[in-house]
Structure 1
Amino acid sequence: MRAAFIIAFLFTFTASYGQSMRQLNVDFYGERFTAVADNAMLVTVPHTIEPRVVVDFYKDVNSTNYQPVIDSLLAYKVRRHLNDWLYYQLIRKTAEEISPKADNYGRYTLYKWFLLTKSGYDARLAITPERKIIFYVYNNEDISDIPFFIVDDKKYMCLNYHDYAKTDLHRDPPFPVNLTVPGATKSFSYLVTRLPDFSQASYVEKKLQFTYGHRQYHFVVKLNPQVKNIFANYPGVDFSAYFNIPLSGETYSSLIPVLKKNLKGMEQIKGIDYLMRFTRYAFLYENDEENYGKEKRLSPEETLFADYSDCDDRAALFFYLVKEIYNRPMIALLYPTHITIAVQFDKPLGNPIVYDGKLYSVCEPTPQKEDLAIGQMSAQLKNQKYQVVYSYQPAGR
């Protein structure tokens, strides 16, 4: 009798638990992220968002058993070593699983905000007179090309401006919602130092070739199409962050060892000349305005994947290759309409650039009218002013 009672109790409890909880299944770039969510987390939200709607949403969801979802998100972040930008992509996908963006954009955005704040980040919401919901996060980095606002001397960057690309926020200015979430104090960083561990099956192969020293070199590089999605809405970060975006694992393994093999036996200067010409001639050139209709910096893996690339993209790729293979000190020179890289050698070549008491030789990774060697600069740049926007000094030098 007692055993029957226990079985009945467990059945009732399990059924009740199953009705009150649901499992979230999120495809995170080929890997499955799962979390158990309280069904009560899914609340009704009108399509027109006003400040009182935000306050009511927070009260309703905050009163549910939301913590298991947050715990699962943060545990996955630690386990997979996700930088903040990648963690935000996980939050976006989780919010989409809870409340699809296409069904109710405002509610989807509210879930992104809730999950990010409950993860400890200082994220804010603002509403425009035309009832657009703007999502901001506290950030203390040098970010360009997206809106921001200042509250209490803290800068908040807009995370969802891409959803309102044609909106003039000066004409329809957002007003912050006065709502403080306890514990949401962390700043958000756009620095990406590691890409996800994509499955091998998700990679595609691309053939590259270029000629060096009357010899043609061929490459079969593995690239992941999902990298493009990761950086689809990535803003213009400062050059210290941009030049340190890595390749994914399989891409690295399919390219760097082959380059090292090709460079074996070459003197370092010749090897860097090889990398300069690989970056210059293995890809077709087209400026961003013609290619994308706007300025868009590509990560090194995106540059390898893209049909066309410009000077920003090639400078970042060349910097990455030299750093990985030779780890030489480098500086990035920004001109009004161009950017290039200069490398510090034991003995400078050509007309060196003097920076911080050291001599650097220009290594032009972008095609020019002239066939430039190391230490040579395009004639149209010789009399233009430049700014050193990034200086890399290897540890121990």
Structure 2
Amino acid sequence: MSFEFNQNLINFMATYPQADYETYFNAPLDSRTYTSIVKDLKKYVDGKKAGDAMNFVLHFVQKSFKYERDNAQFGREKVMFAAETLYFDKSDCEDRAVLFSYLVKELFGVGVIGVKYKDHMATALYVPMSGDSVREGQRKFVVADPTYVNASIGQSMPKYKSIRPDSFVSIKR
């Protein structure tokens, strides 16, 4: 898949000061990039059962980028906006979580939260599926980890299965 980008926006994001996770998780893609990625993804998800389609998007995010920590890639901690994650060929856990949460929210209209551990970021979906889950308030969210390659919705990295998340990132619908 190849995507269109607004290069001016990518350049601006490179200078954007680091902010809280809610800023990244709730920022939209520009219309040009959104249209190009959705057009490509819809070829693969249209006509599939919802769970299969969401897993396709999860696997797309897991496998489309090389994993690299921010310090190695940028020489500093840098959370990326969804457009930056698509633009660069390397990303780490929070970058993938930002991109996946945006795509699944927009394509499928499901509730999603960021799941923050001490040294890891995943996501969780408010969907009627089985598997590993977390509770935020009274709601149960099923884990979907965009960094755990080949894992499907409902599968946590073994290291985080029994650990309570440090916090959750609210994502507006």
TM-score by length of 2: 0.92
User: Greater helix share, 1 or 2?
Assistant: 2
Shift of 1:288: 0.5
Which structure has the higher relative contact order (CA within 8 Å, separation 6+)?
A: 2
User: Greater strand share, 1 or 2?
Assistant: 1
Distance 2:8 2:63 in 1: 25
- 2:133 is aligned, of 333, 336, 352, to 352
Cα-Cα RMSD? 1.6
1:343·1:360 contact (CA, 8 Å) conserved in 2? yes
Question: Which residue does 2:59 correspond to in 1?
Answer: 277
Moved more, 323-332 or 248-257: 248-257
Question: SS in structure 1 opposite 2:94?
Answer: helix
- 2:104 is aligned, of 322, 337, 340, to 322
State the Cα deviation string for residues 286-316 of structure 1 (Å, max 9, x = none): 1101111111011111111102111111000
Q: Does 1:375 align with 2:157?
A: no
1:331·1:388 contact (CA, 8 Å) conserved in 2? no
Distance 1:378 1:224 in 2: 35
Shift of 1:388: 3.1
State the Cα deviation string for residues 208-249 of structure 1 (Å, max 9, x = none): xxxxxxxxxxx2211233223211232222222211222222
State the Cα deviation string for residues 15-35 of structure 1 (Å, max 9, x = none): xxxxxxxxxxxxxxxxxxxxx
2:132·2:154 contact (CA, 8 Å) conserved in 1? yes
Question: Which residue does 1:242 correspond to in 2?
Answer: 24
- Name the CA shift for 1:283/1:222 in 2 (closer, same or farther; >3 Å): same
State the Cα deviation string for residues 308-333 of structure 1 (Å, max 9, x = none): 11111100000110111111111111
Distance 2:28 2:64 in 1: 19
TM-score by length of 1: 0.42
- 2:77 is aligned, of 295, 311, 323, to 295
State the Cα deviation string for residues 82-130 of structure 1 (Å, max 9, x = none): xxxxxxxxxxxxxxxxxxxxxxxxxxxxxxxxxxxxxxxxxxxxxxxxx
Q: Does 1:389 align with 2:168?
A: yes
* Equivalent position amino acid for 1:377 in 2: S
* Equivalent position amino acid for 1:389 in 2: F
* Equivalent position amino acid for 1:268 in 2: A
Distance 1:360 1:284 in 2: 27
Listed as ranges, the gaps of 5+ residues in structure 2 are: none
State the Cα deviation string for residues 135-159 of structure 1 (Å, max 9, x = none): xxxxxxxxxxxxxxxxxxxxxxxxx
Greater radius of gyration (CA): 1
* Equivalent position amino acid for 2:146 in 1: P
* Equivalent position amino acid for 2:169 in 1: Y
